[in-house]
Structure 1
C-alpha cells in the first residue's frame, strides 16, 4: 500500500509540473503576441478588460472597416469609369476564392468530348432503359426489422419514383426477392435499411446483372415534418443533376435517370445535387 501511495504521489507531482510548464509556455506566447500588437500601435478589443470600453472599441473598429470598404468600392468604380472614358480596358475584377475555383485538377472529371465515355454509355447496364427499350419498374422493400418511420419514408419514395411498387419483406431472403423481381420484369430493387427506428441507408440493386449501390442516409426530413408542405402530383418527373462531373458521378447520374425514363414527356422536376461526395435530394 505504501509503495502504491508513493507511486501515485510521484505521478501526481509529475502531472502538476507538466501542467505548470504548459501554463508558463502559454503565458509567454500570449505576452509575445501582446507585445507584437503593442509595437504596431494597435489595440484589440480583447485586450481591454472593461466591458463597456471593449464594446465601444469594437463598434469603432467595425465602423472603420465599413468606411474602408466603401472607399475601396468608390475607388474601383472611379477607376472603371475613367478607363471607359479613355477607351481603355477597365481593371480586372477581383474573383472571390471558392472551393470550386481553388480545387486541384482532377483527372476523373468527365469532358464533353470524351469519346471513350460515350462509347461506354452505349454498352452499360442503363443504356436499354435510357434508350426507351424498357420501361423502368422499381420494387421497394425493407430490411427484416422495419421501424415506425420506415413506412412513412417508403410512401415518400412511392410518391416520387414512377412505376414503383412496395413488397413486404417479412421473412423472405433477399435472394428470393431478387428472383421474384426478375420474374416480374422489375428493373431495380430499393431496400430501405433502418437502425434505431430511423431509416439510415438505401441499397439499390440493378436487375438483372447489377450494379449494386449503397447510400447512407443522413438528416432525413419527411414531407409531413415540413411546415406548410405541398403534396406531390402524379406527373412524370424530370431529373436535374448538378455537379455529377466525375466518372463515378456520371455513372450514379445515369442510374438515377434509369428510374425516371418512363417514355413520357416530363411534367415535374426532381433535383439532385452532388456536393463533396454526398447526394442532396
Structure 2
C-alpha cells in the first residue's frame, strides 16, 4: 500500500505544468480585477507542515498580480507589546479593505501549531484560541470577507528530503531554523495538533481544504484551481487604451554620458 503522500501517477511534466500554471495565473488576474471592481475582500490562509510548499505556491499566486491589490503577510514573532494584546489583534490590522486580497503566509493558526507543540503558549491560551477562533472567523464571514483556508500536507519522507536540500543550498538555507528541524522529531505531535485544530476550526463558514503537496507542481495547480472555483468572479472588460503618438523632437540635448555613473557591464564578462 502506498504511504501518505506517495503519487503513483508520477511527477507532473514541466510543459504540462507551465502551460496550465500560466492559464490559471491569467484567471487570477481576472479575479484580481473583479475584486477591485466589486470592492470585494479576499483572505487566503496558507498553513501546513514546514517545507510543504506554501511559500512557493504563494509566489505563483502573486507572480502577475498588482502588489497594491494583492499583498502577502508573513508576520514576524510578536513583540513584547503585541504579546499583551488580544491574540487576534495584530492580524486584524492586516485584513483587507474593499478591493484588496491578503495572503497570509502562516496566520493566527500559529497558536494551534508551533506555539502549541513547542510550548510557546500556555494551555489556557491554547484552549482560549480553540474557543475564539471559530467565532472570529464567523465574524469575518458575516462581515462579507471571503475567507479561504488551505492546509499543505507533506509526507515525512519528502519533508526530510526537502530539509536536506535546503541545508546544502546556500540560497535556501535561510528557510531552515532550529524550530523547523525539531519538527522532524515532533512529527506525531504536530499531527495531533493539526487534527485537534481541524476538529475545532473546520467550520461551515470557513472550512479547511487540504492540499497534498509531495509533488509541488500538482499542489500549486490544485490549490489555485480550487481557489478560483470558490469565488464567483467574472471577467471585467479592461479599459480601451491606445498609445499616443510620440511628439516630434524639439532639439533637447542630453548631457554627456561621462557625467553619469553607469553600472559596470558584468554580463559582458560572462561572454569571455
Same fold (TM over 0.5): no
Which has more radius of gyration?
Answer: 1
TM-score by length of 1: 0.20
TM-score by length of 2: 0.20
